[in-house]
């Protein structure tokens, strides 16, 4: 029996090695939100499909159904010789840190997560400068607002979400120093990501305090915000993916987090992928705002040129957008 296992084990290792040598296709693991979430994970899928279409390459992907599958999926892809193994969502930080050491020849990528590059030299951690993108949509909101009050609805009250709110507030203040900014969080536990009912009420409460442009960074709850804004005749601003098409004429723009580009770049680099820590910001078009057929007539040219100028200034360092997560304070808004 033991001998048998050894032989089988050896055979399996041999197969895995041949697999690595002959081809190293990339693999993609989505977070629990699922492949078609219209937002974060779907952006990753879109990036991968674009890479496949342009290069004729192939990739494997998997959707998780439970927390426990994270490590399992990572190990399976690594053992089958896939590289790089790309994951979306900050929850992959720990599983990757646990697994990466066992597969030194496989490269792992975590989008939104963070793995110590010294301890795990074969991992690339990709972060985004959400505050810069939020600053730009904040400017658009400040210009579009007639009441001078704009607001922010966050999902769970975590530093990452405050980073969105802080950038947004700074942008609105930049175009209208007297702008009143209301920032509320839906809750302090994970149900906040899936409570559109509460998000709707929060939006209504903000609107009754004068807000007429509402930026939602709240996962699936954000749909409640955009829905209410559309129902009540205010502007909503989407997040992560381009959500302009959801409620045409009501979604002013969307703050983009180019997860698709991050995936595309990682897949293009393939085996030569540089590991370490990467920050996707305005300068490498990692964040931005969405302008398309649905909203091009809703934003006037003066606003657009001001926003593009500000984007240039942020890249050149002339404007410095404060990052909430650096010191856990925000100069532009109180929480």
Partner 1 sequence: MDLMTLLQILDSTVRLGTPLLLMCLAGLFSERAGVVDIGLEGKALAAAFFSAAFAYYSGSVWVGLLAGVLAAIAFSMIHGLASITFRGNQLISGVALNFLASGVTVLIAQTWFAQGGRTPTLEEGRYSNITLPFAESLQDVPIIGPIYYELISGHSILVYVAFLLVPLSWWVLFRTRFGLRLRAVGENPAAVDTAGISVQRLRFAAIIIAGVLCGLAGSYLATALQAGFVREMTAGRGYIALAALIFAKWRPWYCLSATMLFGLLQAIALRYQNIDLGAFVIPVQFMNALPYILTIVILAGFVGAAIPPRASGEPYVKER
Residues that bind partner 1 (CB under 8 A): 33-38, 41-42, 184-185, 187-188, 191, 194-198, 200-202, 204-205, 208, 220-221, 223-224, 227, 246
- State in angstroms the smallest separation of the CB of 176 from partner 1: 23
Question: Residue 78 or residue 259: which is nearer to partner 1 going by CB?
Answer: 259
- State in angstroms the smallest separation of the CB of 88 from partner 1: 13
φ, ψ (nearest 5 deg) of residue 182:
-110, 125
CA distance 330 to 170: 9
Question: Residue 38 or residue 107: which is nearer to partner 1 going by CB?
Answer: 38
Residue bearing tokens 């009754």: 208
Question: Residue 79 or residue 232: which is nearer to partner 1 going by CB?
Answer: 232
> Residue 317, SS3?
coil
Question: Residue 103 or residue 193: which is nearer to partner 1 going by CB?
Answer: 193
> Residue 171, SS3?
helix
93 DSSP β-pair partners: none
The tokens describing 321, both together, are 């957008």
- State in angstroms the smallest separation of the CB of 314 from partner 1: 30
Residue 57 near residue 298, CB atoms below 8 Å: no
- State in angstroms the smallest separation of the CB of 219 from partner 1: 9
Question: Residue 50 or residue 204: which is nearer to partner 1 going by CB?
Answer: 204
Question: Residue 17 or residue 197: which is nearer to partner 1 going by CB?
Answer: 197
Cis peptide before 187 (omega within 30 of 0): no
- State in angstroms the smallest separation of the CB of 256 from partner 1: 19
> Residue 216, SS3?
strand
Question: Residue 24 or residue 205: which is nearer to partner 1 going by CB?
Answer: 205
| Pairing between β-strand 60-62 and β-strand 123-128 as defined by DSSP bridges | unpaired
- State in angstroms the smallest separation of the CB of 190 from partner 1: 9
**Helix/strand/coil percentages in the chain, nearest 5:** 45, 20, 35
CA distance 290 to 79: 39
- The closest alpha carbon to 225, from 215, 211, 239, belongs to 215
- What are the DSSP E strand ranges found in 66-179? 85-88, 108-111, 123-128, 149-156
- State in angstroms the smallest separation of the CB of 109 from partner 1: 22
């Amino acid at each position: 029996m033991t001998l048998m296992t050894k032989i089988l084990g050896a055979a399996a290792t041999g197969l895995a090695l041949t697999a690595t040598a002959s081809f190293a296709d990339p693999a993609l693991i989505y977070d629990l939100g699922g492949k078609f979430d219209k937002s974060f994970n779907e952006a990753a899928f879109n990036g991968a499909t674009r890479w496949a279409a342009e290069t004729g390459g192939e990739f494997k992907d998997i959707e998780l159904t439970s927390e426990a599958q994270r490590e399992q999926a990572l190990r399976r892809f690594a053992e089958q010789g896939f590289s790089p193994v790309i994951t979306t969502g900050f929850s992959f930080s720990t599983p990757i840190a646990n697994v990466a050491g066992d597969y030194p020849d496989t490269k792992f990528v975590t989008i939104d997560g963070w793995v110590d590059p010294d301890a795990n030299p074969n991992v690339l951690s990709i972060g985004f400068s959400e505050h810069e993108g939020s600053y730009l949509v904040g400017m658009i909101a400040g210009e579009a607002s007639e009441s001078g009050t704009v607001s922010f609805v966050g999902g769970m009250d975590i530093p990452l979400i405050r980073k969105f709110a802080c950038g947004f507030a700074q942008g609105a203040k930049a175009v209208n120093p007297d702008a009143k900014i209301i920032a509320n969080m839906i809750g302090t536990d994970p149900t906040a990501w899936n409570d559109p009912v509460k998000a709707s009420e929060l939006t209504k409460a903000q609107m009754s305090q004068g807000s007429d442009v509402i930026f939602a960074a709240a996962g699936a709850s954000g749909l409640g915000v955009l829905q209410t804004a559309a129902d009540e005749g205010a502007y909503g601003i989407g997040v992560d993916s381009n959500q302009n098409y959801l409620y045409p004429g009501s979604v002013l723009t969307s703050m983009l987090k180019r997860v698709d580009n991050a995936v595309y770049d990682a897949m293009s680099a393939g085996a030569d992928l540089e590991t370490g820590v990467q920050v996707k910001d305005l300068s490498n078009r990692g964040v931005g705002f969405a302008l398309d057929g649905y909203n091009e007539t809703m934003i006037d040219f003066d606003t657009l040129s001001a926003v593009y100028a500000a984007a240039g200034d942020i890249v050149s360092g002339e404007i410095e957008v404060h990052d909430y997560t650096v010191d856990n304070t925000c100069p532009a808004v109180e929480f």
